[in-house]
């Protein structure tokens, strides 16, 4: 859309069933925030809408397991998520929640309108029902014996032991995962939205009309449309959610994916009385930022609902990102393989911009990408500190030293090619950054900003004003050259503040401070100009924009990630602590292995001969283990479970051929097998009678 009158930007509603992690940030919140901050700097009319998605089955299950109400679950996580968003500088105009009354009214009315227009199909089907908890059971909440491999804990949709995909009907002896009761079949009626009716229109709208959408988004839409759409139930049997606003619908609520995107409309209503301008006028540009798992809902289902309703604008673009993996593995909230925002801001206080930088520079814009702590450190130390921060700092220090802390004059008569090239680079950078942001290429945009600071460093290196300063006594005319160099470097710094602002807002603020100018200077129209700081204006002392991140901090994060990993309760557990910041563990079995895989393990019995706490690591014990043929040092994450003196003399089973690993500077050679019960209590695995140290286990 060219020249829209106003922008409506939404970011996916996070599920209020756990805190948010960096994958969420990289997926949609950060790119949405960069886009919105840029639009605001452009003085465009924009509203940035977000909120928590507070309905759906997993929330009720969690509430049941914890013995609290669903409202208590969502209250807790809504607060945590909202705080994390603020801490990372995600500048929503409103961060609402779908349990608010305005949303219930809006979503009900939306459903009722489609119902009154005769757009739903009513269908009856038989579903499993738990009579004890009076709940219809989603497939995932039925367990039983796998007909393929006899695993007694298969789910109604899949056996995780043999990988077979199942339907609840195939399970032998099905049970409710909620109450262990034997489920019964019960008839239930639901309202289905016939997506197939919208297929011809969707094809025209997306396949013909939105070829500019990102390849990953366009491709996924095309494959959904190519394989044909079907009716989808828009209601569920549950007591938690938005009641179906019909007389014969007791115990039924709107399907969470029907109500959640309507949450964008409700939140806009809550924000402004002019909400209808944003949602109903054709010259609004509506942009949904989401992760790739939400593409079908935002590109196919929600637009079809909007089209069916008839009163609302359709999304102009849906720039979905792919997934961010961590240290080479998929993020898993249930296994706690994640970097949680609420923990990051504690561990790296004041470094919120660094995470924003890394997540944008390495954003999964076109394919899944990997976050590693090493890369985080490298990008901070060698890009933010050494390039951007270094340029600004050098400029400030030299300006105070060579120009008395004031903006020197620009002597146009002696401008040379290098000066002119720098001025041209500044103007060009603005155009490049702007084009990239408008096309949702935030990585490229950020690269251009850093590249401009790189050019600044090179310029200063070539000009060498500190050398000129030494020759001033013999050649006072050189002051003019020094003035020009410093003048241009200062104007470049002002430009960098404007260009970096959408990406690293706190950094831009610090730069404003140093320049002693007001926020208005960050208006986008000022970018590309070299008359931002007036001649003779005195500037503050420099302050460091970024600090170096040390190896120890990175090692501690990697250790935290590995130690926090939650493994299924029935498995042996090694060097794992219950550092659970995550949603409760949902256990899952691992894939089947062949005997050869098992035979690779060298398991030996040993005796603990010494144990002590590791300094500054409250979860780690340093153990000496006698394996008969040799003595080993093993670091184990069990300090919260055992008193060191009480375990000396115990026999244990050790994985003797595990690659050594350094933890807190101590090389750990092997792992000790532990059993863990459902509440997280640890017990050693050992022979039932003492055996000679070094005995094999097989």
Minimum distance from residue 149 beta carbon to Zn ion (Å): 3
Q: How far apart are CA 626 and CA 632, in angstroms?
A: 6
Nearer to Zn ion, 161 or 641 (CB): 161
Taking the complex as a whole, how short is the minimal distance between the CB of residue 163 and Zn ion, in angstroms? 7
Shortest CB 597 distance to Zn ion, Å: 18
Helix (H) or strand (E) holding 419: helix 417-438
Contact predicate 495/531, CB 8 Å: no
CA gap 214, 217 in Å, rounded: 5
Q: How far is the CB of 159 from Zn ion (least distance, A)?
A: 3
Element (H, E) at 172: strand 172-176
Q: Cα separation of 429 and 645, whole Å?
A: 64
Question: How many Å apart are CA 111 and CA 244, to the nearest integer?
Answer: 8
Closest to Zn ion by CB, 109 vs 149, is 149
Smallest separation (angstroms) from Zn ion to the CB of 147: 8
Using CB under 5 A, list all residues that contact Zn ion: 146, 148-149, 151, 159, 161-162
Of 141, 137, 134, 142, whose CA–CA distance to 251 is shortest?
134
* Euclidean distance between CA atoms 573 and 335, whole angstroms: 13
Compute the least distance from the CB of residue 226 to Zn ion, in Å: 32
In the complex with Zn ion, the residue whose CB is nearer, 158 or 381, is 158
Minimum Å distance from CB 168 to Zn ion?
14
Alpha carbon distance 445, 433 (integer Å): 5
CB of 333 to Zn ion, least distance (A): 24
Distance of alpha carbon 178 from alpha carbon 142, whole angstroms:
8
DSSP code, position 407: P
Q: Which CB contacts under 8 angstroms, 24+ apart, belong to 677-680?
A: 677/569, 678/569, 680/578
Cβ closest to Zn ion, residue 172 vs residue 414: 172
- Name the residue with tokens 């990289």: 26
Give the whole-angstrom CA distance, residue 412 versus residue 696.
Answer: 83
- Judged by beta carbon, residue 109 or residue 172, the one nearer Zn ion is 172
Q: In terms of CB distance, is 378 or 586 closer to Zn ion?
A: 586
Rounded to an integer, what distance in angstroms lies between the CA atom of residue 511 and that of residue 493? Answer: 8
Nearest-approach distance from CB 128 to Zn ion, in angstroms:
19
CA separation for the pair 608, 466 (Å, rounded): 63
Tell me the residue ranges of DSSP E strands in 255-321: 284-289, 315-317
Structure tokens at 447: 């690269």
Indicate the angle between helix axes 478-500 and 390-402, nearest 10 degrees: 140
Phi, psi of 334 (to 5 degrees): -70, -30
Q: What is the DSSP string of 473-531?
A: TT-TTHHHHHHHHHHHHHHHHHHHHHHHTTT-HHHHHHHHHHHT--GGGG-GGGTT-S-
Residue (of 357, 356, 348, 334) closest to 580 by Cα position: 334
Q: Which residue has the tokens 């200063």?
A: 460
C-beta of residue 357 within 8 angstroms of C-beta of residue 380: yes
Nearer to Zn ion, 2 or 173 (CB): 173
In whole angstroms, give the CA distance from residue 565 to residue 637: 11
Q: How does DSSP classify residue 141?
A: G
Considering the complex, state which of residue 149 and residue 580 has its C-beta at the smaller distance from Zn ion: 149
Rounded to an integer, what distance in angstroms lies between the CA atom of residue 249 and that of residue 690? Answer: 65
Closer residue to Zn ion in complex, CB, 145/563: 145
Taking the least distance from each CB to Zn ion, the nearer of 146 and 512 is 146
Q: Which H or E run contains 634?
A: strand 631-636
- Tokens in use for 112? 């009722």
The least CB distance from residue 595 to Zn ion, in Å, is 19
Asked if 281 and 300 touch (Cβ cutoff 8 Å), the reply is: no
Shortest separation between residue 150's beta carbon and Zn ion, angstroms? 7
Closest distance to Zn ion from the beta carbon of 166 (Å): 8
Nearer Cβ to Zn ion, position 50 or 168? 168
Among residues 149 and 467, whose Cβ is nearest to Zn ion? 149
What minimum distance in Å lies between the beta carbon of 678 and Zn ion?
22
Three-state secondary-structure class, residue 670: coil
Q: Which is nearer to Zn ion, 165 or 534 (CB)?
A: 165
CB of 148 to Zn ion, least distance (A): 4
* Terminal CA-CA length for the chain: 67
Smallest gap from residue 672 Cβ to Zn ion (A):
31
Shortest distance in whole angstroms from residue 139 CB to Zn ion: 15
Question: In the structure encoding, which two tokens stand for residue 558, read together?
Answer: 């990697």
**Least distance to Zn ion from the beta carbon of 591, Å?**
11
Of the two residues 153 and 633, which places its CB atom closer to Zn ion in the complex? 153
Nearest CB to Zn ion, comparing residues 149 and 280: 149
Q: 99, 74 in Cβ contact below 8 A?
A: yes
The DSSP result for 435-448, as a single string, is HHHHTT-HHHHHHH
Nearer to Zn ion, 161 or 622 (CB): 161
Output 164 or 457, the one with its CB closest to Zn ion.
164
3-class secondary structure, 286: strand
Phi then psi for 77, rounded to 5 degrees? -80, -30
């Amino acid at each position: 859309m060219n020249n829209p009158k106003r922008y409506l930007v939404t970011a996916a509603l996070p599920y209020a069933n756990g805190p948010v992690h960096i994958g969420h940030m990289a997926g949609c919140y950060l790119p949405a925030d960069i886009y919105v901050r840029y639009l605001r700097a452009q003085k465009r009319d924009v509203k940035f809408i977000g909120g928590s998605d507070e309905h759906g089955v997993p929330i009720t299950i969690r509430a049941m397991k914890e013995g609290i109400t669903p409202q208590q679950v969502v209250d807790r996580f809504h607060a945590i998520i909202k705080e994390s968003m603020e801490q990372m500088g995600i500048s929503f105009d409103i961060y609402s929640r779908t349990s608010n009354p305005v949303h219930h009214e809006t979503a009900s009315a939306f459903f009722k309108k489609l119902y009154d227009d005769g757009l739903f199909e009513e269908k009856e089907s038989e579903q499993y029902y738990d009579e004890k908890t009076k709940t219809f059971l989603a497939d995932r909440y039925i367990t039983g014996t796998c007909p393929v491999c006899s695993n007694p804990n298969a789910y109604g949709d899949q056996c995780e032991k043999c990988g077979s995909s199942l339907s609840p009907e195939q399970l032998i002896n099905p049970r409710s995962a909620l109450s262990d009761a034997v489920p019964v079949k019960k008839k239930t009626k639901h309202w289905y939205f016939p997506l197939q009716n919208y297929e011809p229109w969707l094809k025209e709208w997306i396949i013909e009309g939105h070829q500019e959408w990102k390849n990953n988004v366009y491709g996924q839409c095309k494959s959904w449309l190519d394989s044909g759409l079907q009716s989808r139930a828009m209601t569920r049997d549950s007591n938690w959610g938005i009641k179906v606003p019909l007389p014969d619908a007791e115990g039924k609520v709107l399907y969470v994916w029907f109500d959640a995107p309507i949450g964008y409309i409700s939140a806009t209503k809550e924000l402004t009385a002019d909400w209808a301008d944003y949602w109903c006028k054709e010259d609004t540009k509506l942009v949904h930022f989401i992760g790739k798992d939400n593409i079908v809902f935002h590109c196919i289902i929600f637009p079809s609902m909007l089209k069916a309703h008839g009163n609302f604008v359709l999304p102009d673009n849906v720039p979905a990102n792919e997934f961010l993996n961590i240290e080479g593995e998929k993020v898993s909230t249930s296994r706690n393989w994640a970097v949680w925002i609420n923990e990051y801001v504690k561990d790296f206080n004041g470094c919120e911009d660094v995470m924003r930088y890394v997540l944008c520079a390495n954003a999964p814009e076109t394919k899944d990408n990997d976050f590693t702590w090493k890369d985080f450190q490298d990008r901070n130390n060698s890009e933010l500190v050494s390039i951007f921060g270094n340029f600004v700092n050098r400029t400030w220090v030299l300006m105070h030293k060579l120009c008395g802390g004031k903006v020197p004059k620009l002597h146009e008569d002696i401008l040379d090619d290098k000066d002119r090239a720098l001025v041209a680079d500044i103007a060009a950078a603005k155009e490049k950054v702007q084009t990239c942001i408008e096309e949702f290429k935030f990585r490229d945009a950020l690269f251009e900003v850093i590249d401009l600071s790189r050019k600044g460093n090179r310029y200063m290196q070539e000009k060498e004003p500190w050398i000129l300063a030494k020759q001033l006594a013999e050649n006072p005319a050189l002051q003019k050259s020094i003035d020009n160099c410093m003048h241009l470097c200062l104007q470049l710094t002002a430009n960098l503040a404007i260009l970096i602002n959408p990406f690293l807002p706190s950094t831009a603020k610090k730069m404003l401070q140093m320049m002693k100018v007001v926020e208005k200077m960050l208006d986008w129209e000022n970018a590309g100009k070299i008359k931002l700081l007036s001649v003779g204006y005195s500037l503050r002392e420099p302050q460091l924009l970024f600090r170096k991140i040390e190896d120890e901090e990175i090692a501690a994060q990697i250790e935290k990630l590995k130690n926090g990993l939650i493994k299924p309760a029935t498995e042996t557990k090694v060097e794992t602590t219950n550092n659970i910041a995550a949603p409760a563990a949902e256990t899952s079995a691992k894939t089947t292995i062949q005997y050869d895989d098992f035979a690779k393990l060298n398991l030996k019995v040993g005796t603990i001969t010494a144990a002590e706490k590791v300094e500054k690591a409250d979860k780690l014990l340093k153990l000496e283990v006698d394996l008969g043929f040799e003595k080993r040092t093993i670091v184990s994450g069990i300090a919260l479970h055992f008193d060191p003196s009480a375990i000396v003399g115990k026999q244990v089973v050790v994985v003797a051929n595990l690659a050594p690993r350094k933890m807190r500077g101590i090389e750990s050679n092997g792992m000790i097998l532990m059993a863990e019960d459902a509440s997280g209590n640890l017990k050693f695995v050992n022979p039932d009678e003492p055996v000679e140290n070094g005995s094999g286990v097989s």
